[in-house]
Each structure stands twice: as C-alpha cells, then as structure tokens.
Amino acid sequence: MGKLIKYLKDYKLESVLGPLFKMLEASFELFVPLVMARIIDVGIRNQDASYILKMGGILVLLGLIGLICSLTAQYFAAKAAVGFSTSLRNDLFAHIGHLSYSEQDKIGTATLITRMTSDVNQVQSGLNLALRLLLRSPFIVFGAMIMAFTVNVRAAMVFVVAIPALSVVVFGIMGFSMPLYKKVQRQLDQVTLATRENLTGARVIRAFNRQEDEISRFEKSNDLLVRFQIFVGKISALMNPVTYVIINLAIVAVVWTAGKQVDAGIITQGETVALVNYMSQILVELIKMANLIVSISKALACANRISTVLDEKSSIMDPAKKGQEEKEETEAKTTGKERKTDISGISPAPDKVRFCQVDFAYKGAKENALTQIDFSVKPGQTIGIIGGTGSGKSSLVNLIPRFYDVRQGAVLVDGRDVREYSLEELRHKIGVVPQKAVLFKGTLRENMQWGKKDATDPEIYEALSMAQAREFVDSKEKGLDLPIEQNGKNLSGGQRQRLTIARALVKQPEILIMDDSASALDFATDASLRKAIREGTRGMTVFIVSQRATTIRNADQILVLDDGCIVGWGTHKELFESCEVYREICLSQLSKEEVQ
C-alpha cells in the first residue's frame, strides 16, 4: 500500500480534512456522557426541568455539530478515495499497455482484469473507511479511557485492562486474515479466467456440446472461492463476539466497582452512567474498528497485488526513455554469457530488414522458438514465410516491430538495431496485420484511422479497395459510418480480416507484415487480394506469413521454416527443386500444373 500513497498527492487537503472533521465529531461525542451525568446528578436529582431542557438542548446541539462534521468528513474522504482510485486505475491501465507481450503472457489476462477492477475497488473502499475511521476509532477508545480517568481513577483502571486485551484480539485476527484475503483474490482470478474463457469460447463450447463440463468446471472454481471466503469470514467473524465478551465483562466490572463507590458516596449515579456510556462508546467503536480491519486487510492484500503489476518492468525498453545508466547496464548484460553478434561489417544501405544470427525464446521456455535466423531483405521486396504449424513464422515477424526482444543476435531495420529505435519511431515504419483480426467498437472510419489519424475518406476507400473490402462496405449502404461492434462481431471472419488489412494499408507503412491474415478468405478473394497488394505496394517491403503455398509462391523471396530454423531461402522454383520441406508443402496443396 505504501507504494500507492503517491496517488493521494493531489488530494492532500482532503486526506487531512476528512480525518480532522471525524476527530472533531469524536471530540463532541466524548462530551455526551458528561452532559448526561449532569442531567442525572443535577437536573433529575433536583427535579429542575429547566436545567434538564437546557442540557438537553446542548445534547441536540452536540448531535447536530457531530452530524455536520460527519457529513463533511464523508465528503472529503469520498473525494480523496475516488480521486485516488481514478488516478491509480489510469496509471495501471497505461502501465499494462506498456508491458511487453512477455509480461502480459506471464501475468495473464484474467488476473490483469481482476486487478484493474475488483482489486482497485477494494482499495478504494478500504481507503474511504480508513480516512474516516482509522483515526476516529482509536481516538474515541483512548479518549473514552482518559475521560473515564477524569470521572474516577479506580473505575477507569478497568479500561486500562480491557483496551490492551481488545487490541490483541483485533490486531491478532488482522494479522492472521490478511494472507487469507490474498488467497481469496488469487482464487477470484481463477473464477474470472473461467468466466472469460466461457464467454470468449461460447461458440466452441456449444459446438462440442461441452456446456455441462464447463458449468461443472466453473462451479468447482467458484465453490473453492466460496470455501476460502467462508473460512476467512469465520475468522474475521470471531472479532465481534470476542470483543463483545471482553467489553461486556468490562462493563460488569465498571458497574461493580462504581456501584460500591456510589454506596460509599465517592461518586454519583450520573458519573456511573457516564462510565458505562464511555465503555459502550468503546464497544461501538471497536465493532467499527473490527469491520474497518477486515476492509483494510482486503484493501492491503489487493494493494499488494496491484503493486506487483506496477513493479513489473517491461522487457522491451524504449531507448528514448531510458537513462544512460540503464543503457549501460543492458549492454553489460548482453556481453556476459550471451553470444555477441558483430554487425559492424554489415552495410546498412542495401537492406531494409536484416536478421543477424537471431536466437529467440519465449519467457520461461527451455528451448528456443527460433535458432540462428540469418537473412536480409532489400527495400521493396515481398517476402513469403511458410512452414508447418509451430515452426516459428509468427515469432519471426513479431521481432521486427519489437513485440518481443531477441535472446541473441540482432534485428536491423534500415541498418539500425530495432533496440536503438524509439518504439514510436520503429512502429511508425511498420504496419501489422495480426493473425487474429481485431476491430474496435465504433465506426468503420474510426477503425481505419487507427493507422493514420488524419486519413481522408479517399485514402480509406483506396485501402479498402486494395484489401478487397470496398464491395461489401458499399453493400452495407452506410459507407464509412458503418457501425462496428466490439471485436467486429457484426462482421464475418473474412470481412474482419479484410478490414484489418485495409487498416494497415491506410497507414502506408514502409514495412507491411501480414501474419496469416487471409486464412478466412476464399481462394478467389485471396488471389485478388495478393494481386492488388503486389500492384499497390510497390516500394513497400512486405512480409506475408501463410500456410498456403499459393499465397506466397509469387513472392520475390520465400523463407521456409521448420522447427524454428531456416531450411530454405529462395524463389518458388528454386525451393521446389532444392528444399524438401517446401516441396512437401507444395505437393500436399497444389496440383502438378499449379506447382509449375
């Protein structure tokens, strides 16, 4: 939680005024038993109605002032808590957006969603309660004890014994329950994961008639969450009965001690009532404190989970934002046990993209996904990349825009290591059409302008025509104002793919990466798309990843991958004669006439 306090810097005044007004309310509340004592000892004893009314008016006044202070404290506390959570949620969202694919894969989408929503809400609720009660409750407890000493020292000694006993119970239960709340939140991640998988995979689940199995899996995960919550709830629930027992025993002790002193004429009946009221105030505040401790325990557990995400550093460091010290440290690490690739002798001018002895492995993987990848691409060339499933095709092209960093070697763009570019500059050069077509809720125009914010309608229509999407867009009769649902769910798979290709083309990048982006298209549309891209992207360096031989056969150069290694490099004709893997792919997909 300490690391998150910085988000209160814009709410320092509210963070001070909230507890301050609560303590003012508590101060007025501490005078109530004394006023009651005066009403009993003076007003009722002397049957003085006017005195009773006057002191009753003081009680009403104390109540009104306390109410105003309480409402003011609630306003400031709520303002600080909501502002804190807003700033935290914004920063957390931005931080997650800057994490590399490696960190997002490691943490998991379901966990990130839980921490962005449930965890932040828990912290907000805990902070709100803490600003209002964290100082008020102890102030009332110790204030009541001090006020009791002003009434009668001997009877007040009961308070000296009761308060430490209550503190041991409260903080003992807090210390035991905090780790359990972390466990509850971790299980909530699993429930979120199961929910997310069921929602995103609903069609697959129904297609395989696995609804009952998924319901059973969700129920098991949810039942485990409920068991954790019940267990920690039982422990937290011990706080109220135990504190009640201690307080009621203390009240009995106060009445017993004060009763004897009343008989002896040492104290009055009103003062005895005041002592009992002070003990009752302690009881009420400790019940509040018990609930506060539960909320703070949850909030601290959630705050630690949020801090863990915020502490996660992206493995993709932007040179434009790195200090010289970090840069030197990174360079020192790469010169240790890793192989240092000498690229000084490579002439940057002729090559648009160059892979220099690249090895790459995903985080936590024992084996490389890519090994000894070495090839160069001239400006304006079209490169086809083909290979079996899991051969490393997507991994290879993901290294160019630096979605991942190489383990060894270097990837050069225009003769510069991609790690030397700022991420903005590098990705400005590159247009990516991902394997999974992703569109965002909004209009078609808004989606097309992701690649170029100031793209004009003619530029968008030109890209749509090249991507073979113009015809179906015109058929919708709404043009570029066509509404796109979340993830493009109101479009077919082929339509989504064509729109994502058009979005990348609108950007007019220097390098276009199409990662198996035509898999949902029929062969005729695919052929038209390839022809349009070949004619419309002259001067643009294009990487086409595909498992279809027809898609890449007319590329200037074809790269054949097998188990993360290059097993072929050349034209279609050359590879068909010299590369066994490529020949097998072609013969499995093409007729003898098409092969030629």
Per-position DSSP letters for 403-457, written without gaps between them? SS--SEEEEEETTEEGGGS-HHHHHHHEEEE-SS----SEEHHHHHTTT-TT--H
**Contact 397/513 with Cβ under 8 angstroms?**
yes
CB 386 within 8 A of CB 559: yes
Averaged confidence pLDDT in the chain: 83
Residue appearing with tokens 């031989």:
549
What pLDDT digit, counting tens, does each position of 266-322 carry?
888 888 888 888 878 877 787 777 778 778 877 888 888 888 888 888 777 777 665
Name the DSSP class of 537: -
Coil, strand, or helix at residue 385? strand
Angle (CA) 319-322-325 rounded to 5° is: 120
Give residue 350's pLDDT band: very low, low, confident or very high (50, 70, 90).
low
Residues 245-251, mean pLDDT to the nearest whole number = 82
Average confidence (pLDDT) over 459-477: 87
Residue 77 CA to residue 64 CA, distance in Å, equals 20
| C-alpha distances in Å from residue 429, one per residue of 168, 352, 413, 422 | 63, 11, 9, 11
* Whether residue 394 has pLDDT greater than 60: yes
Say how many C-beta atoms besides its own lie within 10 A of residue 461's C-beta.
Answer: 19
User: pLDDT per residue over 127-178, tens digit each?
Assistant: 998 888 888 888 888 888 888 888 878 877 887 888 788 778 877 877 777 7
Asked if residues 498 and 469 have their Cβ atoms less than 8 Å apart, the reply is yes
Q: Is the pLDDT of residue 370 over 50?
A: yes
- Tokens at residue 303, please? 């705050």
Rounded to an integer, what distance in angstroms lies between the CA atom of residue 381 and that of residue 362? 29
Residue entry with tokens 């697959």: 204
pLDDT at position 61 is: 92
Q: Which of 10-14, 473-477, 501-505, 565-569 has the lowest mean pLDDT?
A: 473-477
**3-class secondary structure per residue, 237-295:** HCHHHHHHHHHHHHHHHHHHHHHHHHHCCCCCHHHHHHHHHHHHHHHHHHHHHHHHHHH
Name which of 513, 575, 517, 572 is nearest 543 in CA terms.
513
Banded pLDDT at 1 (limits 50, 70, 90): low
Q: Is the pLDDT of residue 336 over 50?
A: no
Residue carrying the six token digits 């508590």: 26
Buried b / exposed e over 254-286, threshold 16 CB at 10 Å, is bbebbeebbeeeebbebbbbbbbbbbebbbebb
Average pLDDT over residues 323-331: 49
Residue type, 502: A
In whole angstroms, give the CA distance from residue 107 to residue 314. 12
Pairing type for strands 511-515 and 430-433 reads: parallel
pLDDT of residue 594: 64
Helix (H) or strand (E) holding 123: helix 120-133
Q: Quote the pLDDT of residue 592.
A: 67
pTM of the model: 0.67
Contact 504, 460 (CB under 8 A): no
